[in-house]
Chains A and B, each alone.
Chain A
Amino acid sequence: MKVSIDWLKQYVGFNGTQHELIESLPMLGLEVEESGDQSSPSLDNVVVGEVLSKEPHPEADRLSVCSVQVDENQEPANIVCGASNFNVGDRVPVALPGAKLPGGFKIKKSKLRGVASEGMMCSAVELELGQDGDGLMILSKKPKIGTPIANLFEKEISLELEVTANRGDCLSHIGVAREMAAYYEKELVIPELNFQAPTVQKPSKENLIKSLSVDSENCPFYNLLAIRGVKVGPSPEWLSKRLESVGARSINNIVDITNFVLLETGQPLHAFDANKIEDQSIQVRQANEGEKIITLDGIERILDSDMMVIADSKNALVIAGVMGSVDAEVDETTVDIFLESAWFKPGNIRSTARRLGLHTDSSQRFARDVDPAGIDFGVRRAVDLILEIAGGQCVPEIVSYGKAPRSSRTIEIEHAFVEERCGFNVDADNLVHSWKRLGFTVEGKNPWQVEVPSFRSEVDRPIDLVEEFIRIYGTSDLNNSPLPIPALHRDNDQSYDFCDRAIENLSSQGLQEVCNYSLRSANEIKNWFPSLEHESIQLNNPLTADHTHVRPSLLPGLLDALANNQKNLSQLSQVFETGRVFQPGPRGNVELISVALAMFPQTVSREWKKTEALDFFDIKRIIHRFFHATGINMPKDPWILVQETNPWQNKHASKKGDVHKNKIAISAGTISLTLSKQKNIKGPVLAVEILIDPILLSKKRKAITFQTFSSFPPAIKDLALVTDQKEPAEKVRSALESIANDVASGSFLVDPVVIFDVFSGQGLEEGKKSIACGMRFRSSDRTLGENEVNQAFEKIVEKINQNTPYTLRS
């Protein structure tokens, strides 16, 4: 909301500077927005000049080359100009070299299409002196040549206030002035009203208004009156200047007055041309489904039955509380007017404005709950101004429906309550005085009865009165507050600590952490995860076409990071990210924790010492180190070779576990070569993604119980088994391990069996491979004897021959 300081001064005896207000208003909760250049745009070096000649530019049809007298004692300046609305002899504002226009544009001597230009002739918009930007600002009163423009136009200084959602009352000059009056302890001066009229439920016969009917629960209070014989014309200068000072456009005196009263009091008013109203009857009703209206901005709007309209017996004339239509607009031909002042339900106006995408000065105020007491005040203020400025005769009755939905209210509050919330001693007199400064009435003596006027709709509980006190009193008493912190038995959520350990581990493994957006495009998801039901994770109201879905995986983002750095020739070849991802599941979507990494097999830069290219087993080592360090278990399911296509390269990637079943899953390998090519990456990319349902991390981990270990040396036996090339080595190993355990059962222990060699080729049948495993046997109470070990070994061999498809390599 833009406020003019001069205008504010009309209601409160404030003599301070703009700077003072910029300091004090925020401390009341009214933030002043940065205007970029706080020192206020100066019009230094902008002077009155007279056009002596105007010749076409030799190189450009639209430009002219002018000779302009800017100082009577000097040679005229040569200026190239793009405007065409002026003639030789006209006086116009000229910005000379060195001037800085309000928009920040600096004027310098320059050449335009080869012709020197020593300044710029300006329009009203360029100098922020008016709305007209179509041509030069012609100074018709012919001020003296060389006069600084600043001397001719006294600019009203305005501030842009950011009014919080609870302070609808501050969307008006009187509202802001009231806050200033409270802060500076000055009197608030409210304009006196002359117009007096009784309210009636039905218009009398003499009234221009034939009938008023209200048929909507969204309108509990509606006032309408008629004025005959107004003279519509331009507004007087003071009025248009007021409006322009806060960025509003002057239209005509009647419309300007309704806008002025809105900006002054916060009460939106609407003026109808009475003769454009069918039957001179006004109906307040819900719109019909699909009802059409062309609003004043010239756009046809299609309404629905949740929206309220003000209509005559035929058509909707106004979208209630939002914007009028062209049908009942007040224009130069208007003679008689109806003036509306009402209270509409805030939620309804808000949702209508939002659904139509039409936020107006009026809807903004209705949506924040206008002061019901202001409805009467606003309309009477407007009548006074109309009669004064546009003449006419008011029908001396206000046709009224319903009643004010709320008025002032009384809150009881105890001194102790205030001190308990504040945490410091509060002087009772100070407290009462603070409330009185705000215009509240205070009665009684601890507990007090505080009467809050209707303009403060949101102050209705004792805690709200504490806030009001703090707002006026300030919080400087709280500097150097002590820090009382009783210890609590609570730990970080495990999910947080897990992710933090993940970041620690992967960055220590030489990977760079990156951070990507969670929102991705439909195309990417369809392409990368063709089997995913992507509609489930689609947003209902995405802002842009490339941000339509939430990410089901961190992998595409990681490839973007690699691709961008590869393009920039950065030496970045290993990246990781942790974050939330979103996937459809059998019982609805799940939000998962993802830890993912991606890397080039070879370093980006050439190196003096050759290292082997990384492969699947290098990233598997990273995974093992990761699980070891973060202390969670890998899913028990085996590593399965990926057979499908995207996002992985067929047969060069593997998966372990199912996130819906095991709450944890790992995939690792080479990203589909097609996909990395699509991301403009040269060469293959190795990647890993670990998905975890946060529920897995919610359990408290048990303390580890120590177990005694054998201090006797192990007996070592090796064994090579021949099997089909396609048989997973792990299957062979675990079969051997379980047989060994079986055989040893009861007499000694077997360490985990390890694979130490895999071989195929010479000496083996085609399509076969040999897997060599090492076994370690140990007992907790003795050194195992050779016989015992050999017997066991033979039994193991026997069982392999009997129970497995594997053969011993001879």
Chain B
Amino acid sequence: MEKDLQAIVDEATQKLDSVTNRPDWDKIKATILGPNGSLTQLGKGIGKLAKEDRPVFGQKLNTTKKQIEEIFKSSLHLIEEKEDLKILGSEIDPSLPPPSNFNGGTHPLTNTRRKIVSIFRKIGFTVAEATETETEWFCFDALNTPEDHPARDEQDTLFFSPDSKWSNIKQKNQEAFVLRTHTSSVQIRSLLREKPPLRIIAPGRCFRRDTVDATHSANFHQTEGLYVDQNVTIRDLKGVLDFFLKELFGNKVETRLRPSFFPFTEPSFEVDLRAPNIGKLSDQWIEIMGCGMVDPKVLQLVDLNPDEWSGFAFGMGIERIAMILHGIDDIRHFYNNDLRFLSQFNHSS
């Protein structure tokens, strides 16, 4: 009988050696451990043994059974591992490219806008938005540019028809709707909606009735900034702009305020900068943005007392900043959407 036990162990080992899948394994298991299996059959023979031999044989039988079960278990483990590997397929060639390789990317104007906004957020400016459709009052009158003001000549404004109605844009009176010529109108909407102290940055799209060429675009983007509080000074304005321009162009940038004119600020300045690291434009004064102290008339027009409140405002072209930062020579590139252009800026920060 002992011999038989060993034979069954050998049989199991031998049979399992060539098994590669679970069904075959199950079949072999049945031939040994199943109800009619050889081991089970052998076990049934215990009754035929002498009473005193039974415990010894029983013990041996159990040991063998355990041994065989162990053999089956490890065999199954191997089979499963092989089956798992089959799912993985043949070995990989890691040098092949990934399919559908679109990286996606953001537009350089988005990158520049984000950069500007993130710098101003550091010093407590939060974003305000208003619609691109504006009314003449918000775009001009409230910014101290009444109908007969000479500055209104310079604004080549696109108008909607006089009877056009807009349900989600509020008019002051019955004035005409226009496409905003600057983001300065956001100053007015924000000051009417929120009370000072107010510190906002307002990036957005603007429109001028301009012929498209290398430096002019039918629409373009600006970022307006506004800070109204008690005792805001020209010094504060310069401090904020210097911080911004140093963040944007590096510590070596020099800046100067040059007197200028905007109807909605008094005094008004152009901001010039000189930087060593901006390609062809390096080491010369270039105009970068306009700014000034909010004109007392503008404060009055939004129901603020100019004796109590003062503030500064500034505005810059996002395209212009992007062009200076990246040495782009034609504004039309931004709107042509040529991948050969766009893909160059996906990593720019």
Residues of A within 8 A of B (CB): 26-29, 31, 164-168, 346-348, 350-351, 354, 367-368, 420-424, 461, 463-464, 466-467, 470-471, 475-476, 478-488, 490-493, 495-497, 500, 503, 506-519, 535-543, 547, 550, 560-561, 564-565, 568, 570-575, 579-580, 582, 585, 587-591, 603, 607-611, 693-695
Contact = CB atoms under 8 A, between A and B. Distances in A.
A547 B147 CA distance: 26
Nearest to B287: A31
Closest 5 CB pairs between A and B? A423-B233, A347-B148, A423-B235, A588-B165, A467-B267
Interface in B59-113: 96-97, 99-107, 109-110
A463 B266 contact: yes
Given A463-B296, A539-B158, A514 B342 contact: yes
Residue picked from B158, B229, B267, most chain A C-beta under 10 Å: B267
A573 B127 contact: no
Contact of A507 (B104, B126, B148, B337): B104
A500 B114 contact: yes
A762 B266 CA distance: 82
Nearest to B217: A517
Given A518-B219, A570-B340, A694-B168, A484 B335 contact: no
B40 interface: no
B162 A543 contact: no
Contacts of B296: 461, 463
B196 to A, nearest CB: 9
Contacts of B148: 346-348, 350-351
7 contacts: A29-B258, A464-B266, A467-B266, A490-B199, A493-B126, A519-B218, A590-B168
A483 B240 contact: yes
A29 B267 CA distance: 11
Given A481-B242, A511-B102, A513-B106, 4 more contacts: A27-B259, A471-B267, A475-B256, A580-B131
A545 B165 CA distance: 23
Given A543-B209, A565-B338, A484 B234 contact: no
A516 B234 contact: no
B178 to A, nearest CB: 9
A60 to B, nearest CB: 35
Contacts of A561: 337
Contacts of B162: 540
Contact of B124 (A354, A485, A508, A537): A485
B112 to A, nearest CB: 12
Given A470-B259, A507-B106, A539 B339 contact: no
B327 interface: no
Nearest to A607: B99
B306 to A, nearest CB: 8
B167 A588 contact: yes
Contacts of B266: 461, 463-464, 466-467
A497 B270 CA distance: 30
B161 interface: yes
Nearest to A570: B339
Interface stretch (B8-16, B18-26, B46-54, B149-157): B149-157
B131 A591 contact: yes
A257 B271 CA distance: 40
Contacts of B211: 543
B249 interface: no
A607 B100 contact: yes
A693 B168 CA distance: 8
Interface string B230-260: 0101111011101100000000000011111
Nearest to A494: B129
Contact of B205 (A164, A165, A518, A603): A518
B164 interface: yes
Nearest to A585: B167
Nearest to A475: B257
Contacts of B104: 506-512, 574
Interface residues on chain B, size class = 35 or more
B127 A421 contact: no
B259 A28 contact: yes
Nearest to A540: B159
B238 A503 contact: no
B89 to A, nearest CB: 12
A661 to B, nearest CB: 13
B236 A481 contact: yes
Contact of A493 (B127, B154, B259): B127
Given A470-B267, A481-B238, A564-B338, A420 B167 contact: no
Contacts of B150: 165-166, 168, 346, 350, 367-368
A750 B5 CA distance: 56
Contacts of A500: 114
A169 to B, nearest CB: 13
Contact of B239 (A165, A484, A560, A579): A484
Contacts of A607: 99-100
Given A27-B259, A508-B104, A587-B167, A572 B124 contact: no
A543 B218 contact: yes
B328 to A, nearest CB: 13
Given A367-B153, A481-B236, A539-B160, A486 B338 contact: no
B102 A512 contact: yes
A503 B343 CA distance: 16
B261 A513 contact: no
A580 B102 contact: no
A467 B259 contact: yes
Contact of A503 (B100, B106, B179, B342): B106
A350 B146 CA distance: 13
Contacts of B336: 564
B259 A591 contact: no
Nearest to B134: A591
B226 to A, nearest CB: 12
B140 to A, nearest CB: 13
B129 A26 contact: no
Contacts of B293: 421, 463
B198 A488 contact: yes
Contacts of B229: 486
A350 B269 CA distance: 25
A476 B235 CA distance: 10
Nearest to A590: B168
B128 interface: yes
Contacts of A564: 336-338
Contacts of A512: 102, 104-105, 339, 342-343
B135 to A, nearest CB: 12
A140 B310 CA distance: 67
Contacts of A514: 107, 337, 342
A587 B166 CA distance: 8
Nearest to A162: B260
A166 B263 CA distance: 8
B169 interface: yes
Contacts of B129: 493, 495-496, 694
B37 interface: no
A536 B162 CA distance: 11
B175 interface: no
Contacts of A513: 105-107, 110, 342
B148 to A, nearest CB: 3
Contacts of B339: 512, 565, 568, 570-572
Contacts of B239: 478, 481-484
A510 B100 CA distance: 9
B153 A695 contact: no
Nearest to A497: B127
Contact of A516 (B200, B335, B343): B335
Contacts of A535: 161
Contacts of A575: 337
Contact of A589 (B153, B164, B242): B164
B281 to A, nearest CB: 13
A572 B211 CA distance: 29
Given A350-B150, A422-B233, A580 B114 contact: no
B107 A515 contact: yes
A469 B114 CA distance: 37
